[in-house]
Structure 1
Amino acid sequence: MIIELHLLQSFPVSNLNRDDVGQPKTATFGGQVRGRISSQSLKRAARLLFQRYGLAATETGVRTKRLVDKTALMLKEERGRDYDESVGVASSALLALGFGLDKRRNTLTEYLLFVGNQAVELLADYCDRDWNRLAADAAARAKAAEKKKTDAADEKKSKIKPDKQTLEAAGRILDASRVVDVALFGRMIADNKDFNVNASSQVAHAISTHAVVNEYDYYTAVDDLQPQDESGADMIGTVDFNSACYYRYANLHLDQLGTNLRGDTDLVARATRAWLEAFIDAVPSGKQNSTAALTPPETLLVVVRDKGAWNLANAFLKPVTGHDLMVTSTQELFGHFNRLRRFYGEDDLRAVVAASISADVTGLDAREVAPSRHELVSRVLAATKV
């Protein structure tokens, strides 16, 4: 079973997701430049809301390279270990578990790890249990570093293949069977594919329904303590922005979510609600302090189906034009959806629930229209129950 979420969301002056030179991201679609918000940005914005919608901290995860430092702090503050020695032990522990360290800062892992919030505590337990061996390994590595014998090749060799017992310890630390973030968005660990998790949710890059031209704001700032006899700005610069109505799409494969969460039906149900609520509210944080572009979606279409999936971006292959972009975009969205289901049939559709604040829900049955967000969410979740 699959839930599909289609949203139309208009943002005023904003730079929610910028590129390497600070401009709002764009993409060419239908031969025209569109505003774009990356799927990664939207996923992170949603992840940060999961605990607001009923998930416990222990049921959510973090993406981090700082397991060594956080584990060393726990070993110091909660278990009375020396911090500097704990850093070496935690580093040796991660190497023993098969993970590399950053060559420039050995307190960081080689890449971001997507783990549960309990990973630090579990890694600290592993360090405590095998302290003497790990401490001896840390001392040997430190001695080799002092003699300048550690080079890139040596570091690669230090990532040895863990034995069965060590793999079991790594499995406990990286266990994602109750980590909703990982169950939803998946995990890829190059050093050990056994810890990979197939994502149950797919998220598209949001694109504007119309053509967009990035603009810039020229700003000046005056020193508040500037002498009275002086004038002029003490700082000048530019900030890039655009304004756009975006089409957003995400889906959730409930069978894969159930597999990832080991069939825990209660957690699957709570994760599904959190996913739906969080993605409705997800707004990236880029430049929000200077733009406050905190506008909610105005048109929502949710489809529950047994199989298949329809991204409706082609409704906007021809850019929308006119003075009321939200109303026109809503008409194009619902029109495209209705044409698709007339052509391909509705046998796989369990439920269609829609709502629009600004436009008429043209072409939809009155029973498919929800008068409020609460009603929309309730109907969708009811349709997922077998």
Structure 2
Amino acid sequence: MFLQIHSLTSYHATLLNRDDAGLAKRIPFGDKPRLRISSQCLKRHWRENLQDTVKLPQGIRSRQFFGRIVLPELIQAGVAETLARVLAKALIDAVIDGGVEDDGSLALKQPVLFGRPEADFFVGLLTECATAGDEKAALDTLKQKLKTDKKNFKAMLKQAGHGDLYAGLEGAMFGRFVTSDILARSDAAVHVAHAFTVHGLDTEVDYFTVVDDLNLDDETGAAHAGDMELGAGLYYGYVAVDIPLLISNLTGCDAKDWAKQDSADARQVLAGLIEAIATVSPGAKLGATAPYAYSDFLLLEAGAKQPRCLANAYLKALPAKGDVMQSAVDAMGCYLADVDAMYGATAGHRAAATRKQWPENAAPRLPLDQAVKQILDAVFGA
């Protein structure tokens, strides 16, 4: 079972996502190059929003996890700082390939996603080891525990009362890649495409100056001059969610048993995700461009067939004239009808939320909250 989310969102003059040269990201597609927003950028802003709207254990992606989360909590739990540092370093060496920097900060050599349950578990584990006696006894206890239980790490977390979200909500949704043989890898259940404009790339360079407020009358000219690339565009976005894998990541069940699980958390997560896709904007250049926009169109699809995006509706770039949004909606509707004519119905259920004209025979046109409820009822049952 898959949930697919298609969106059309128009932005005024903005610089939503920059490359290493400070220019707007772009991609060749079809007959013209397009403006682009990377999936990493989109996921980052959606994750931040979901931290406020979904009340489930969160993830922490950082090089500083042990130095700024685990170490202070160990000290607060009564472990002497010197011993806490020794134990934390030993734990890092055991669970993270590559270890730490040599500056004594316990900073990892690369950022890793950890779940809040893992932080609680690590603190509890090291606090228990610290009670074994002196430093050597504490280290021996940690080594023995890891040697005995490392194949059962997820089970240890669950037994300690930390649930199945060992890598946090972010890990359950977007996956976690680790090379450690102790930490558990999780595959991404939410697959996010790079968004791109349905029309050709058209940008301009905005030249700006800064005036020195303390200039004297005879001091002319700018105190600073700069420039940035700006572009306006209508972006197509696409997200596919593997529902069995998401339920498995949230509950710890086997993916084939997803339909037997309580769906309350998954419904909460997916409703929050759809709301974020529709309303949360990438946050670059906030003060200079106010890059805030809501989607004018969302198409939600659910079904057991292999997902397929509708990006090819825009292989031929739309002309930047007339009602471009309506043209984009029409192009998607026509392409969807053509795909269904070729393959048969490619989704079992559909619902659309839009302020534009949309063929009712393609999908019911509903307010967003009703469209979300209808599609989630189709996935999980009313």
**Which TM-score band applies after superposition, normalised by the shorter structure?**
0.7 to 0.9
> Which residue number corresponds to residue 114 of structure 1?
113
> Which residue number corresponds to residue 195 of structure 1?
184
> Which residue number corresponds to residue 353 of structure 1?
351
Match 1:376 to one of 362, 367, 371? 371
CA distance in 2, matches of 1:235, 1:210: 35
CA offset at residue 193 of structure 1? Answer: 7.6
> Which residue number corresponds to residue 3 of structure 1?
3
1:164 aligns with 2:148: yes
CA distance in 2, matches of 1:171, 1:19: 42
CA offset at residue 208 of structure 1? Answer: 0.7
1:297 aligns with 2:281: no
Contact 2:297 2:329 in 1 (8 A): yes
CA distance in 2, matches of 1:135, 1:329: 69
1:128 aligns with 2:127: yes
Cα 1:228–1:121, aligned 2, differ >3 Å: closer, same or farther?
Answer: farther
> Which residue number corresponds to residue 151 of structure 1?
none
Match 1:185 to one of 144, 169, 174? 174
Stretches of structure 1 lacking an aligned partner (at least 5 in a row): 141-158
> Which residue number corresponds to residue 152 of structure 1?
none
Match 2:220 to one of 231, 234, 258? 231
CA offset at residue 87 of structure 1? Answer: 3.3
Alignment partner of 1:320: what SS?
coil
1:90 aligns with 2:88: yes
Contact 2:95 2:180 in 1 (8 A): no
Cα 1:170–1:309, aligned 2, differ >3 Å: closer, same or farther?
Answer: closer
Alignment partner of 1:195: what SS?
coil
Contact 1:97 1:170 in 2 (8 A): no
CA distance in 1, matches of 2:100, 2:32: 41
CA offset at residue 297 of structure 1? Answer: 0.5
Cα 1:301–1:265, aligned 2, differ >3 Å: closer, same or farther?
Answer: closer
CA distance in 2, matches of 1:367, 1:23: 38
CA distance in 1, matches of 2:157, 2:112: 11
Percent identity, aligned pairs only?
25
* Counterparts of residues 146-295 of structure 1 (less than 5 Å): 163-166=147-150, 168=152, 172=156, 177-178=164-165, 179-192=168-181, 195-261=184-250, 262=252, 263-295=261-293
* Counterparts of residues 66-85 of structure 1 (less than 5 Å): 66-69=64-67, 70-76=69-75, 78-83=76-81, 85=83
Q: What letter is aligned with 1:26?
A: R
TM-score, reference length from structure 2? 0.85
Alignment partner of 1:96: what SS?
helix
Cα 1:216–1:104, aligned 2, differ >3 Å: closer, same or farther?
Answer: farther
CA distance in 1, matches of 2:237, 2:95: 39
CA offset at residue 119 of structure 1? Answer: 2.8
Deviations 1:79-109 (A, max 9, x none): 2444455334322221133443244545212
CA distance in 1, matches of 2:133, 2:31: 58
**Residues 289-298 or 272-281, more deviating:** 272-281
Match 1:314 to one of 312, 315, 322? 312
CA distance in 1, matches of 2:263, 2:369: 22
CA distance in 2, matches of 1:121, 1:199: 23
CA offset at residue 339 of structure 1? Answer: 1.4
Stretches of structure 2 lacking an aligned partner (at least 5 in a row): 253-260
> Which residue number corresponds to residue 360 of structure 2?
364
Q: What letter is aligned with 1:48?
A: E
* Aligned Cα root-mean-square deviation (Å): 2.9
Aligned length: 361
CA offset at residue 366 of structure 1? Answer: 8.1
> Which residue number corresponds to residue 335 of structure 2?
336
Contact 1:50 1:60 in 2 (8 A): no
CA distance in 2, matches of 1:60, 1:342: 43
CA offset at residue 185 of structure 1? Answer: 0.9
